[in-house]
Amino acid sequence: MALFKQRRNRGTRSGRGAEAHPVDEVLSPGKMLAFGVQHIAAMYAGVVAPPLIIGQALGLAPVQMALLISAALFTAGLATLLQSLGVWRIGARLPFVNGVTFGSVAPILAIVAQPGSANKLSIIYGSVLVAGLLAFLVAPYFSRLVRFFPPVVNGTVITLIGLSLMPVGIKWIVGQDPTAPDYASPAKIGLGAATFVLVLLFNRFLKGFWNRIALLLGLLVGTLAAGPFGLIDASTFDSSPVFNVPVPFELGLPSFSPTAIISICIVMVVAMMESTADMIALGEIVDRPADERTIAGGLRADGLGSALSSVFGGFTCSAFAQNIGLVALTRVRSRYVVATAGGVLVLLGLFPVVGAVVSLVPQPVLGGAGLVLFGSVASSGMRTLGKAELGDPFNSLVVAGSLGIGLIPVIAPDFYQHFPSSLRTVLDSGISTGCLAALVLNLLFNARRHGKRSEAAPVPQPRAAQPESVAQHES
Tell me if 27 sits within 8 A of 211, measured CB to CB: no
The neighbouring-strand residues paired with 90 are 87
Question: Would you state the pLDDT for residue 191?
Answer: 93
CA-to-CA distance for 189 and 400, rounded, in angstroms?
32
- In angstroms, how far is CA 221 from the centroid of its own chain? 25
Tell me if 384 sits within 8 A of 193, measured CB to CB: no
CA-to-CA distance for 454 and 399, rounded, in angstroms?
12
pLDDT digits (tens, 9 = 90+) for 334-344: 999 999 999 99
Quote the mean pLDDT of the chain.
Answer: 80
CA-to-CA distance for 402 and 159, rounded, in angstroms?
11
CA distances from 392 to 89, 151, 163, 371 (A): 39, 13, 24, 32
Question: Would you state the pLDDT for residue 328?
Answer: 86
Least confident of 10-19, 88-97, 411-420: 10-19
CA-to-CA distance for 318 and 445, rounded, in angstroms?
31
pLDDT digits (tens, 9 = 90+) for 299-330: 999 999 999 999 998 888 888 877 888 888 88
pLDDT digits (tens, 9 = 90+) for 371-392: 887 787 788 788 888 878 888 8
CA-to-CA distance for 303 and 268, rounded, in angstroms?
8
Least confident of 120-134, 217-231, 279-293, 456-470: 456-470
Angle at 117 between CA 113 and CA 120, to 5 degrees: 55
Question: Would you state the pLDDT for residue 257?
Answer: 82
Q: Where are the chain's structural domains?
A: 22-458
3-state secondary structure 255-306: CCCHHHHHHHHHHHHHHHHHHHHHHHHHHHHCCCCCCHHHHHHHHHHHHHHH
Question: Would you state the pLDDT for residue 106?
Answer: 65
Burial class of residue 463, CB neighbours in 10 A (0-12, 13-18, 19+): exposed
